[in-house]
Amino acid sequence: MNIIQRVPDRLVRIIKKSLEIRPIAECQSALAFDDSQKFIYEKSGLSTMTFSDHWGLRIYRLNEMLGDGEVLEFGVFKAKSINFMAKETLIKSQNQR
């Protein structure tokens, strides 16, 4: 299929998609996502740190801890976070020896 044939096909798909009636929950979810992205963009500065996931954030914070002390974890459900922190803290302490 050459470009002359693909352009009308693509336009037809775009128009059909724009005319689709979507469930209200899907629309609300899309609006919430857009609002969140706009908020982050407007409130973030050049020094804002981003992490690809919550585990990266946790590793960063654990590495920033100063010396000995307590690490508190609230809202334990399946203990994934606390076990992760215990493992990372153990690895960090073994590397410091």
Average the pLDDT over 40-46 and give the result.
89
Does the structure show a pLDDT above 90 at 88? no
The angle at the Cα of 31, spanning 25 to 35, to the nearest 5 degrees, equals 145
Dihedral pair phi/psi, residue 79, rounded to 5° = 65, 20
Position 1 scores a pLDDT of: 61
Does the structure show a pLDDT above 80 at 68? no
Helices and strands per DSSP (H, E), number in the chain = 4, 0
Residue with tokens 């469930």: 23
Average the pLDDT over 47-58 and give the result.
89
Give the distance, in angstroms, between the CA of residue 83 and the centroid of all CA atoms in the same chain.
21
For the entire predicted model, the pTM comes to: 0.51
Average the pLDDT over 60-72 and give the result.
80
CA distance 36 to 42: 10
